[in-house]
Amino acid sequence: MKQLFITGTDTGVGKTFIARTLLDYIKCRDTSSIGFKPIASGCEETPEGLRNEDALALHAESTIQLDYNEVNPYAFKEAIAPHLAAQLAGQSLSVAAITDAYLSLKLKEPDLLLVEGAGGWRLPLGNGEFMSDFVQQQAMPVLLVVGMRLGCLNHARLTAEAIERDGLHIAGWVANQIDHDMPYKEENVATLKELIDAPYLGHLPLVSKPSEAWPYLDFTPLFRVE
């Protein structure tokens, strides 16, 4: 089984779209997969309970059918930092609880278990714990999504440094063009290639469907035997 954690240089940089694209890529190769979004804030009230748009997208793209609560065990209504949303809901977040949910999914034995973080790399869970602690404990390779906009060079370099200091391997990174008026796009990508010591998977322009992203991305480095 391949496990992979997807993180971004910030919130709103396209982690979910890249995750959906990778799950769609896997599905079309008759390979089993699960997309796991352990924590999501900004959820909507539905007759079935709180539902998050990103988690629903991963749920839909996964080949192994699961209950929504297995895909997204921590769902919060307020669109704020998850540890604050948890406090408002009278709940708490912990590495141990996320790990329990993750290990139950491993028992399903998917070919790919893709975990999407919330926000950036050092997301606080509260009580001195961070989402990155969970990734460290599981020794997961990391897929980094760089949101291409002004400031991305600093954010990308700092994120890559933090992942490497945590003793983890960056399996690949994607340049996702979220500011389409950004000047010197290609020059910024060239600089990022110098700043990030990891396989470059591609530069994604604005597309609406995962299948439309395939021509721009090369996921094969993610599945090389280490």
Residues annotated catalytic, as ranges: 37
**What's the CA gap between 117 and 119, in Å, rounded?**
7
> Positive or negative CA dihedral for 135, 214, 109, 54?
positive
**What's the CA gap between 209 and 17, in Å, rounded?**
8
Q: Count the alpha carbons within 13 Å of 129 in the hemisphere toward its beta carbon.
A: 19
Say which DSSP state 7 is in: E
Say which DSSP state 69 is in: H
CA dihedral 182, 188, 190, 193 (to 10 degrees): -120
CA dihedral 171, 152, 160, 7 (to 10 degrees): -60
Two structure tokens written together for 197:
């010591």
Two structure tokens written together for 206:
């604005």
Say which DSSP state 75 is in: E
Two structure tokens written together for 221:
């480095």
Residue 130: beta bridge partners? 124
**What's the CA gap between 174 and 124, in Å, rounded?**
24
